[in-house]
Structures are given as structure tokens and as C-alpha cells.
Amino acid sequence: MKFSFPFLKCFSSSSVTLEGSQIPYGGQISQHFTVYSYNELKAATHGFRASNKIGEGGFGSVYKGKLQNGIFVAVKVLSVELESMRGEREFVSEIAALSDIKHENLVNLRGCCVDGANRLLVYDYMENNSLSQTFLGGEKNRSKFTWKLRKEISIGIAKGLSYLHEEVSPHVVHRDIKASNILLDEDFTPKIADFGLARLFSENTSHISTRVAGTLGYLSPEYAISGHLTRKSDVYSFGVVLLEIVSGSPVVAFDITRGEHFLVNKAWEMYNSDQLLELVDPVLDRDFSSDEAVRFLKVGLLCVQENASLRPKMSMVIKMLSSNGATIVDEMKITQPGIVADLMDVKIGRKHSSQSFFSKASTSMSPGSPFQTGRRK
């Protein structure tokens, strides 16, 4: 089966209005949306030159480009395999999720291009890479992130997710929230990115059944086991990211004594032994409010509870992370977290294997961001 896009053609003109044009998966375009020509984007990226490549993943590559008006952009070139529709679905999902919404904490989709088998998406360029590239990976990186900045980034991500889950219609579930999909602009404002796996929820939809996709370590257990996707699946992933930001620790680590262990389990163990403060990133050198840092870690644990119904909505998360959120957190009971530690735990459709799931789990250009300024090593 081949999707058709009668409303998308490549023009060299600056912008067109695609008023009310229908796209698959129930999305609509109802705003001014720039439709670029292939040659225009080829020129902007110097012929998609290797030195302009800033990211690479399962569905294609991303290039830094400069448009004729002098604006820098990130151009995602999707690899489309028409027989399997690989890449095509991601192209449609990104347009469906982002073409008609704007928020300070979401990456801005400027436009697209359809030219034969070519599918290209154009975004604002992010000067400070992704959270995984800029923040994680060493004390030197993490030392640049003060407690104040970590707080602002955490709350910004929560606001972006709350907007997707509760304010836009249809609601949007991202399905792959993780550090490499959080971009940072020149002011380190976080932007949720890479909506290639996103799904749209109508107002009265509690869940949808879908092929499991995401990234191990961030994947909610109930979704992995049942294939039932809800907004609480994103809440779980956010909880993992929050634990990362406060602790500076990797989601999955390995050492000789413990073997492979997960940050979620480590946080739970330290919470139960009343040592949660020791989980806070040591590079902060105690330059933070102890009560506030512990509260943020508790919010992370509330978000990753095994029982999805006990996880807070993202609007409640924002309240708990705010300056007057201590009372709310103190009144909430934290229960055991859930975790998917093995691919064998993941529900796999008859046409999929654990290997194919892992391939999908890596599609969001892990470990780096698709819009990062630094190149993958």
C-alpha cells in the first residue's frame, strides 16, 4: 500500500496555505506551512554534504542547512522503503503531530518536501544539541548544568508534554521521550523532538493498541507487555528523564559488582533506604536545595510507578515541580516502579522479532539528537 499526498508538492516558493488538507492517521494541516523544493533544500545543505550531517538514525540522516533568507535549519532526510513503508509512516506521523501546533517546548516544524521517493522535513536549528549530547556523557558536560538550569529544563519538558497530552486536540502521545529527543536552543530551552513514532488520541480515547516501539530503559512496562499505549506511557518515560537530569547517571549502567542495573531500580533502592539525596549528581557539589532535589527525584519515582493509574498527569507533574509543590508530593505515596529489563518481556507481533523491535527502539537517532550540532563519534 502506498500513501498519497495530493496536498503536498514541492515548490520553490516560500509558503502556501494547506487549509484543511487531510493526512493519514487522522491529522490535519490548517496553518501556513512551507513546502520546499528538493533543489532548494539540496542547495541549503550544500548537496547534503557529509560535513553538514549532524545526526543519523534508523530512518535517515539530518543535515544542517542555511536557507536563502539566511535562516539556519535542520533538514531530516527520511529513508523511505516503499514496500515496508519504512520511513513513510514516520514522515506522516511527524506532520500529523507538529504541523498545526506551536509551543515553546516543542521543536518547530517549518515545512516539508515530497519529491518522488524523497521525504524531507525541515525544523528550526538547535544550537545546543540534544540533552544526551550536551548534558550526559561526562562530568565536564554535566558541570555546565547548574541546579537552576536542570530545574528549568525539567519543568520545560513537563510543560511540553502537558500541552501534547491535555491541551491540543487530538491529543498527542510521543512514544519515545528520552534524553536524545530533548533538544536545547541557544538559551538551553528544552524542545521535545522526533515525533516519528507519535500517535494521535481523540478526546474519548483511553488507549490504542499498537506495535510496541520506543527505547529500552524509557519504555513503560504495561505498554511493552500489552501493546496498549496511553498518555501514562509518556509519563513513565518523562520520569526516567527526570531521574537522569537530577542524578547525572545513565539509564542503564554496568559495573563488576552489580552487573547491568537500571537507574529506576537504583533510585527506588535509595528511596527505600532513605538515601535519595545521595543520588543527586555529585558534580553539583552541594550547590542546590537538598529538599528541592529530593522532591524532584520523588516526582521521577511517582512517574515510573508500575501501576500506570497511579502515575500523575503531566499537568500535576508541573505543579509538583513548582516552588510550592512540596506539600503535594509529601501527600502522595510512592509505590514500586516498573521496568522492562529484557527484550523478551516486550510484546512482539507475529511479523516482528526482538531484533526488529530493537531496530525500532533505535530509530530516534540514539544516542544523539537528530538536530544536534555535534557529529556522532
The proportion of the chain whose per-residue pLDDT surpasses 70, expressed as a percent, equals 75
Catalytic site residue 176? yes
Residue numbers in the known binding site for ATP are 76
Position with higher pLDDT, 75 vs 340: 75
Residue 78 reports pLDDT greater than 90: no
Domains and CATH numbers, the chain: 34-124 (3.30.200.20), 129-345 (1.10.510.10)
Of residues 116 and 7, more confidence is placed in 116
Which pLDDT belongs to residue 359? 30
Write down the mean pLDDT value for the chain. Answer: 80
**Which of 100, 115, 124, 176 does the annotation list as catalytic?**
176
pLDDT tens string 288-333: 999 999 999 999 999 999 999 999 999 999 999 998 999 999 999 9
Structure confidence at residue 339 (pLDDT):
85
Share of the chain above pLDDT 90, in %: 54
Residue 57 pLDDT: 61
Query: What are the Cα distances from residue 24, in Å, to 2, 58, 88, 330?
Result: 11, 22, 11, 44
Whether the CB-CB separation of 307 and 289 falls below 8 Å is answered with: no
Segment 88-116, tens digit of pLDDT: 777 877 787 787 788 999 999 999 998 88
Q: Which residues contact 248 (CB under 8 A, 6 or more apart)?
A: 135, 136, 142, 281, 282, 283
In which band, very low, low, confident or very high, does the pLDDT at 87 lie, cut at 50, 70 and 90?
low
Whole-angstrom distance, CA of residue 65 vs CA of residue 72: 6
pLDDT higher than 60, residue 173: yes
Instruction: Write out the three cell numbers for 4.
Output: 498519497
* Across 335-348, average pLDDT: 73
- Residues annotated within the binding site are 76
